[in-house]
Amino acid sequence: MNFEKVAFGFFILLALTLNFGFFLGDVDNPDHHDVFELFAAIVVNLIATVLKFGDRTHMGAVLLATSLVADLQLIAAAAVWAVAVQVSDAGTDPATIASVVSLSGGALLANIASVTLLIVETVTLRR
């Protein structure tokens, strides 16, 4: 068993599950979306992105692109949340949380694409 491939798959799947955990719940209810779960999703997505830099195949480039999209979406979600809480008077009102959750939904789709590509690549490998 190749530990590098295990770690690679682990972080890709963990990024998806953390993102899904944050996304799940009422879209405009701040009680259903934890800022620390968003932070964990961002950190794990960034780790998964770094792990994808080593693959020089076409599939590796597509996997890296999906990861970069997820990173961008999650960082934008965190920025919206941070501006709403720290800069504006809006705080965690339903409109702000809906924007944050919508951005994390885009990242969730990118993570689903990444996991799907990983599964397709694994299934097509020959021994």
Query: With the C-alpha atoms ordered 61, 65, 70, 76, is the resulting torsion angle positive or negative?
Result: positive
pLDDT value, residue 91:
77
Q: What is the pLDDT of residues 12-27, one digit of tens each?
A: 999 999 999 999 988 8
φ, ψ at 70 (rounded to 5°)? -60, -40
φ, ψ at 38 (rounded to 5°)? -65, -45
DSSP letter for each residue of 15-65 = HHHHHHHHH-S-TT-GGGS-HHHHHHHHHHHHHHHHHHTT--SHHHHHHHH
Q: For residues 1 and 5, what is the distance between their CA atoms, to the nearest angstrom?
A: 8
Reported as half-sphere exposure (CB side, CA atoms, 13 A), residue 73 has a value of 23
pLDDT value, residue 16:
95
User: pLDDT under 70 in the chain at which residues?
Assistant: 127
pLDDT value, residue 100:
94
pLDDT value, residue 127:
60
